[in-house]
Amino acid sequence: MSRTIRRGPPPRRPVVRGRKQQRKSIGDRLIALIGISEEALQRLVTWTIVAVVALLGLGAATWLGVPGMVGTALAESLGRAGLKVEQIQITGLKRMDAQTVYAIALDQKSRAMPLVSLEDVRQQLLQYGWIKDAHVSRRLPNMLLIHVDERTPAAVWQDNGKLMLIDASGVLLSTVTPQAMPNLPLIIGPNANTQEPAYQALLDAAPALRPRVRGATWVGDRRWNITFDSGETLELPEDNAPAALVKFAEMDGTDRLLGRGFTRFDMRDPTKLVARKGDAMESHDVSEDSHGAPAVYDGGTGGHGQSAGGIEQG
């Protein structure tokens, strides 16, 4: 006797559906965009919050009249917690010794960030001739940022055997040795550094001559003697020196005075140029209506020698 066995429908297999891809949050996208790890970002946020709370606390303590000792103690606590100067970043330095800047930045009664006076650091830096200006700021939690605007050397000042680099305004920068003399104009004489702005203006009046100027002597605290690369010295008047230098440049452009064997030119008399070559002298009328080449004189005591004037000393 046979039995018919009816089989039901086969069991359904569970359908495994893929998990929906979770969308990245805005914070995750910002982290990926900045290129910083989440751990580093969390530390940065934590220190920022600590710094803000600390500064607000110090401000509130000051406003409420809490004694300074309490505020200092709070700042020192923050310093021990890590909010203190441990790194110095300096930019803008070209010639000044970086170790000097580091020493000034670290010379603090306390390195706790809230107690570091940025303005005090700046004022100490400005005591050095090389530094024209400085900007000091904090980068929490532990860095001071210092940007320096240096002065540019414009000349070497020689006085009493000492050589000093100075800038275009006459500020003393640093000493220099004869073996390490830079390729800069040399100015000589007491107080010559204080005349550097006027000296630069003098050279600007005759730019064609500037490349040929090798030095200048401030004479009697009142006027300049200019020395050229060909060896000649030009004595300028006390008054209207720029006009005299311009006139000399015009004459040199026309008659080529430099490099002809002259040793000295005298323009202290505004109406004429006196030139010396060995024992002879030449005198040339430099008034507005004058024309012609210099006349040669023998430098004697009579006749033409007297009209030439002669070369005064000093």
pLDDT digits (tens, 9 = 90+) for 110-126: 777 777 888 999 999 99
What average pLDDT does this structure show over 89-101?
93
Q: Are residues 158 and 268 in the same domain?
A: yes
Q: Flag whether 17 is in a domain.
A: no
| pLDDT digit string, tens, across residues 233-243 | 999 999 999 99
Q: Are residues 191 and 300 in the same domain?
A: yes
Q: How confident is the model at residue 84 (pLDDT cuts 50, 70, 90)?
A: confident
How many whole angstroms separate alpha carbon 186 and alpha carbon 120?
A: 36
Domain range holding 238? 153-308
Identify the weakest region by mean pLDDT among 80-84, 114-118, 199-203.
80-84
Residue 239: per-residue pLDDT: 93
Count the neighbouring beta carbons within 10 Å of the beta carbon of residue 172. 14
Q: Are residues 174 and 65 in the same domain?
A: no
Check whether the bond before 153 is cis (ω within 30° of 0).
no
Q: Are residues 160 and 145 in the same domain?
A: no
Q: Are residues 129 and 189 in the same domain?
A: no
Residue 139: per-residue pLDDT: 87
Q: Among the three residues 127, 150, 173, which one is the final residue of a domain in this structure? A: 150
Q: Flag whether 245 is in a domain.
A: yes
Q: Flag whether 6 is in a domain.
A: no
Strands lying side by side in the sheet with 131-139: 87-91, 143-150, 131-139
Let me know: does 271 contact 285? Beta carbons within 8 Å: yes
Helices 38-63 + 68-80 axis angle, to 10 = 170
What CATH code is carried by the domain that includes residue 102?
3.10.20.310
Residues forming beta bridges with residue 282, ordered by sequence position: 275, 296
How many whole angstroms separate alpha carbon 148 and alpha carbon 132?
A: 8
How many whole angstroms separate alpha carbon 171 and alpha carbon 193?
A: 8
| pLDDT digit string, tens, across residues 3-41 | 555 555 666 665 555 555 556 555 555 555 555 566 665
How many whole angstroms separate alpha carbon 100 and alpha carbon 93?
A: 11
What average pLDDT does this structure show over 220-234?
96
Could you report how far apart the first and last alpha carbons of the chain are, in Å?
Answer: 151
**Per-residue pLDDT for 69 more than 70?**
no
Q: Are residues 260 and 138 in the same domain?
A: no
Residue 79: per-residue pLDDT: 54
Residue 268: per-residue pLDDT: 94
Q: How confident is the model at residue 42 (pLDDT cuts 50, 70, 90)?
A: low
Residues forming beta bridges with residue 7, ordered by sequence position: none
What average pLDDT does this structure show over 228-232?
95
| pLDDT digit string, tens, across residues 132-186 | 999 999 888 888 999 999 999 999 999 998 999 999 999 999 999 999 889 998 9
Q: Are residues 141 and 171 in the same domain?
A: no
Q: Are residues 126 and 222 in the same domain?
A: no
Q: Are residues 140 and 162 in the same domain?
A: no
| pLDDT digit string, tens, across residues 269-304 | 978 899 998 766 666 666 654 444 444 333 333 333
| pLDDT digit string, tens, across residues 137-150 | 988 888 899 999 99
Q: Are residues 157 and 145 in the same domain?
A: no
Q: Among the three residues 102, 122, 150, which one is the final residue of a domain in this structure? A: 150
Count the neighbouring beta carbons within 10 Å of the beta carbon of residue 259. 13
Q: Flag whether 264 is in a domain.
A: yes
What average pLDDT does this structure show over 213-236?
96
* Number of domains observed in the structure of the chain: 2
Q: Among the three residues 150, 179, 206, which one is the final residue of a domain in this structure? A: 150
What CATH code is carried by the domain that includes residue 227?
3.40.50.11690
Q: Are residues 112 and 182 in the same domain?
A: no
What average pLDDT does this structure show over 191-204?
94
H or E stretch covering 215 = strand 213-219
Q: Are residues 135 and 116 in the same domain?
A: yes
3-state DSSP call for residue 105? helix
